[in-house]
Amino acid sequence: MSSETMPSLQCAVPFAESGSILLGHGSGGKLTARLIEDTIVPALSNPLLATLDDQVFVPIGSERVAFTTDSFVVTPIFFPGGDIGELAVNGTVNDLAMGGAVPRFLSLAFILEEGLPIAELERVLASVRRAADRAGVVVVTGDTKVVGRGSGDKIFVNTAGLGTPRAGVSMSARRIRPGDSILVSGTLGDHGMAILALREGLELEGDLVSDTAPLHGIVAAILDAFPDVHAMRDPTRGGIAATLVEIASRQRVGIEIEERAIPVKHAVRGACEIFGLDPMFVANEGKLVAFVPPEGEAAVLRAMRAHPLGRDAACIGRVTSSHGGTTLVRTAIGGQRALDLPFAEALPRIC
């Protein structure tokens, strides 16, 4: 049963083809997937775009260059643990890193809303600079546009990134195979719940802080320990659920997840309970999920846990040859449910 024909348990919104863009088209749920796969990719169809990995390798002369783009519309633009500037650098650095590329150069394009205090732009720029320095990338080209009040929202940022491939590394969702272990580099849901709690004015004991971080360092540590990782993804919009459902569906493999094995911070779990959310559906900005052949599992876990960004790394499940196209979650109380994307998810503008 494919994810397209499987009844959704998460979402009671009746399906209606409105013919217009809905907020849900941007939330990493089913509508996002449909917009990309049914409207955008066919219109532009070409073999490189169709891989739908987070980055693409293009031939330039004798070199292969990793190339990616991401726009950031997070609201509010400043939040616990980061801001839109840091997110824009880390997000694109991570999209490059997920392909095993070494991030090198970024472009930076702003769409500013009239009335934005220049001091806020300066704060974002300082944050871009710090994040770029931390990630070892250089902002080499840029653009700035301004739109009138009510035609934008403070700051939108686009970063595109260039990177160089690591020798001997070939990661792509197409390499995922039954038997692969599914490893996450740390706790899930931190970024999304930090944003949501801030928006809703929720004050909780403990930390609700975005995990935004550049992942190229931990990726390098993993690949040094075990170069034959099949694929990596950073589970951003739609959380790890979106990543897993997409991979199961596109690669026609089964996925089995052990719910109890998923690392979630106490504060994040508490906030999820209050809002009725599952941490698997909540965005991360500093975590990766790796698909690793079984012989590499121990080495990759060790490498993750030895890195400051991977202390809470865990194996959360496995790729299977049965129930291809479907992600099954074994729940904490011993049941089993099929994971499906919500039609239109409840967390717009999370990144």
Binding to its own copies (CB under 8 A) within 91-130 occurs at: 104-105, 107-119, 121-122, 125-126, 128-129
Interacting residue with its own copies among 20, 201, 276, 333 (CB under 8 A):
20
Encoded tokens for 162:
């260039």
Let me know the angle formed at the C-alpha of 253 by 94 and 170, rounded to the nearest 5 degrees.
40
Dihedral pair phi/psi, residue 105, rounded to 5°: -130, 140
158 binds its own copies (CB under 8 A): yes
Residue with Cβ nearer its own copies (1 or 40)? 40
In terms of C-beta density within 10 A (0-12 exposed, 13-18 middle, 19 or more buried), how is residue 114 classed?
Answer: exposed
Interacting residue with its own copies among 21, 200, 294, 321 (CB under 8 A):
21
Residue with Cβ nearer its own copies (151 or 336)? 151
Encoded tokens for 202:
């929720």
Interacting residue with its own copies among 3, 10, 65, 272 (CB under 8 A):
65
Q: Determine the size of the site formed for its own copies (CB under 8 A).
A: 79
Interacting residue with its own copies among 3, 25, 187, 232 (CB under 8 A):
25
Residue with Cβ nearer its own copies (156 or 281)? 156
Task: Transcribe 150-207 into DSSP letters.
Answer: TSS-SEEEEEEEEEEEPTT----GGG--TT-EEEESS-SSHHHHHHHHHHHT---SS-
- Contact between 192 and 350 under an 8 Å Cβ cutoff? The reply is yes
Encoded tokens for 296:
């590499």
What is d(CA 198, CA 88) in angstroms, rounded to the nearest whole number?
19
335 binds its own copies (CB under 8 A): no
CB of 281 to its own copies, least distance (A): 17
Residue with Cβ nearer its own copies (5 or 62)? 62
235 binds its own copies (CB under 8 A): no
Among the residue ranges 58-66, 76-84, 287-295, 297-305, the one whose residues contact its own copies (CB under 8 A): 58-66
Nearest to 161 by CA among 191, 131, 127: 131
In eight-state DSSP terms, residue 42 is: H
- Contact between 22 and 344 under an 8 Å Cβ cutoff? The reply is yes
145 binds its own copies (CB under 8 A): yes
CB of 168 to its own copies, least distance (A): 15
Residue with Cβ nearer its own copies (24 or 310)? 24
What is d(CA 120, CA 118) in angstroms, rounded to the nearest whole number?
5
Among the residue ranges 137-145, 220-228, 260-268, 286-294, the one whose residues contact its own copies (CB under 8 A): 137-145
33 binds its own copies (CB under 8 A): no
